[in-house]
Amino acid sequence: MLGGYGFGGILADDMGLGKTLQTIAVLDTEKEVSLIVCPTSLVYNWASECEKFAPHLKVLTITGSQAQREEKIKEIPNQDIVVTSYDSLKRDTQKYKDIVFNYCVIDEAQYIKNSNTQNAKAVKEISCKKRMALTGTPIENRLSELWSIFDFIMPGYLFSEHEFRNQLEMPILKEQDEMVLEKLKTMISPFILRRLKEDVLDELPDKTETVI
């Protein structure tokens, strides 16, 4: 629905509730080449999940040396889904400048929580019709992290970074302004789907964290 109206969205379900599968299902409904950007450790996981749940889709992983990646980038027009890492993308940004993707999906979107990083700048330069962010932690430490993700999915919707800080972030954090907090919630809620494990699967045990 969001894509149909030209909006972006954040899928912020808890870990283990199927963000990857939901994304593959969306991409499978539209047979246009889409880009998935994820941490390096997840590139082949995405490829295997696509093979498992949508084996009819042509999936290309952009990995290897710079020369190997450049050769693979030439194959993009013949693919359904292209998967690359944040590290590779920020090195290859110029190679993508003439390509327009249907969807650009960023996984573990907290990787762009700092808007000044190369990761954030690289994904925001990708040309695409629709943008989607996947993250179980849309806010880890500061509200500005949410701004950076929104600056990817819908640039300008939460104003400039300076305006966001002055009009929303500072009144909420420093003054505990409930009205401003409600305003922010109202603005972002139509574009975020967040389900918690306890809301979906009662039988799942609590997450166990071990600090080593």
Per-residue pLDDT tens over the stretch 115-149? 899 999 999 999 999 999 999 877 777 888 899 99
CA distances from 146 to 29, 84, 181, 185, 206 (A): 28, 23, 13, 12, 26
pLDDT digits (tens, 9 = 90+) for 148-165: 999 999 999 999 999 999
Asked whether the predicted pLDDT for residue 203 surpasses 80, the reply is: no
**How does 127-142 read in b/e, with b if 16+ C-beta sit within 10 Å?**
ebebbbbbbbebeeee
pTM for the full model? Answer: 0.90
**Per-residue model confidence (pLDDT) at position 39:** 96
Instruction: Find the mean pLDDT for residues 14-30.
Output: 92
**Per-residue model confidence (pLDDT) at position 14:** 86
Going by pLDDT thresholds of 50, 70 and 90, the confidence category of residue 202 is confident
CA distances from 181 to 113, 154, 191 (A): 20, 20, 16
Of 35 and 206, which is predicted with more confidence? 35
pLDDT digits (tens, 9 = 90+) for 48-87: 999 999 999 999 999 999 999 999 999 999 999 999 999 9
Mean pLDDT, rounded, of the chain:
92
Asked whether the predicted pLDDT for residue 177 surpasses 80, the reply is: yes
**Per-residue model confidence (pLDDT) at position 129:** 95
CA distance 72 to 82: 10
